[in-house]
């Protein structure tokens, strides 16, 4: 089984940031370090060659694949800053953020002046809070139900282009999110970007399962990826990426 190559290194974030040639990039890196340290109360650590991470999360899939990743992190890529989380981004805040794009677990920002710093900080806080839901949803580490209680029904989920991924999640929120996604997605091209799609979901979701819009981001990304992997939705070619129903 493939080993996760993204691990903490002995290189200091200060050295890595100093190696960036663009002064604006260095300044934005310093600002992101300060913001993520304040949110996580964890020191900045280099993960792999180019990710500055904060805190650590141990993931384990039903397939047996497991490893560690930072709870929050970022990397100054050539085209944009990539912000990382495994718990998802709050879809109710993304429309207020400013210029950005999103991927599975990733938030892309060209420069910090393009976004609202207060909203970005709130997104980071919500993402950090979302790890509780992520840990409970993971079949391998979810707490067992108390004696005498019926175990919640599970659904196996997968990811496009990642045959090694396997996990089981609670059926009720999965089905509710699936219904909302298919209600929001167009039946033909042009489809919706992931940002626009996720922004449409909250009105279609039962408040009992997603009170105040909480947990929407993680479940939306989980179910959205699963539907694409099963061929129920289609990712269109071109930029930005768009999806419609198959």
Residue 147 lies in a domain: no
Residue 201 lies in a domain: yes
Does residue 19 share a domain with residue 124?
yes
Does residue 107 share a domain with residue 33?
yes
Does residue 106 share a domain with residue 57?
yes
Instruction: Output the pLDDT for position 164.
Output: 67
Residue 33 lies in a domain: yes
Domain that holds residue 105: 13-133
Does residue 25 share a domain with residue 126?
yes
Q: Is the peptide bond before 218 cis (omega within 30 degrees of 0)?
A: no
Instruction: Output the pLDDT for position 54.
Output: 95
3-state secondary structure of 71: coil
Residue 1 lies in a domain: no
Query: Domain ends where: 75, 99, 133?
Result: 133
Instruction: Output the pLDDT for position 143.
Output: 44
Residue 141 lies in a domain: no
Put simply, whether the predicted model's pTM sits higher than 0.85 gets the answer: no
Q: What is the CATH number of the domain that holds 215?
A: 1.10.10
Instruction: Output the pLDDT for position 120.
Output: 96
Does residue 186 share a domain with residue 125?
no
Does residue 52 share a domain with residue 119?
yes
Computed on alpha carbons and rounded to an integer, the radius of gyration of the chain in Å comes to 18
CA 120-125-130 angle, to 5 degrees, is: 120
Number of domains in the chain: 2
Nearest to 81 by CA among 37, 30, 122, 131: 30
Residue 2 lies in a domain: no
DSSP 181: H
Instruction: Output the pLDDT for position 104.
Output: 66
Does residue 128 share a domain with residue 60?
yes
Residue 125 lies in a domain: yes
Residues 6 or more apart from 202 whose CB is under 8 A from it? 91, 92, 210, 213, 216
Does residue 22 share a domain with residue 116?
yes
Does residue 126 share a domain with residue 80?
yes
Over the chain (246 residues), what is each successive 10-residue block's mean pLDDT? 70 94 95 95 93 87 71 93 87 87 84 96 88 60 50 79 74 89 89 80 80 70 87 86 88
Q: What is the CATH number of the domain that holds 57?
A: 3.90.1150
Q: Report the C-alpha gap between 94 and 179 in whole angstroms.
A: 21
Does residue 121 share a domain with residue 21?
yes
């Amino acid at each position: 089984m493939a080993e996760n190559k993204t691990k903490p290194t002995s290189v200091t974030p200060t050295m890595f940031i100093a190696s960036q040639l663009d002064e604006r990039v260095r300044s934005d890196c310093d600002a992101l370090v300060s913001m993520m340290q304040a949110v996580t109360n964890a020191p900045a650590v280099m993960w792999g060659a180019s990710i500055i991470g904060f805190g650590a999360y141990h993931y384990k899939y039903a397939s047996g694949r497991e490893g560690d990743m930072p709870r929050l992190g970022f990397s100054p890529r050539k085209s944009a800053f990539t912000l990382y989380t495994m718990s998802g981004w709050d879809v109710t805040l993304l429309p207020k953020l400013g210029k950005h794009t999103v991927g599975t677990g990733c938030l892309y920002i060209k420069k910090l002046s393009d976004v609202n710093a207060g909203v970005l900080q709130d997104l980071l806080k919500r993402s950090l809070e979302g790890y509780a839901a992520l840990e409970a949803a993971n079949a391998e580490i979810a707490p067992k139900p108390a004696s005498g209680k019926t175990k919640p029904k599970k659904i196996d989920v997968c990811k496009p282009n990642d045959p090694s991924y396997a996990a089981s999640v609670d059926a009720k929120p999965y089905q509710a999110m699936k219904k909302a996604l298919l209600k929001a997605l167009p039946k033909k091209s042009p489809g919706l970007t992931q940002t626009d799609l996720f922004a449409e979901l909250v009105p279609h979701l039962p408040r009992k399962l997603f009170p105040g819009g909480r947990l929407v981001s993680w479940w939306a990304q989980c179910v959205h990826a699963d539907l694409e992997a099963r061929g129920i939705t289609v990712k269109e070619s071109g930029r930005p990426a768009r999806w419609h129903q198959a």
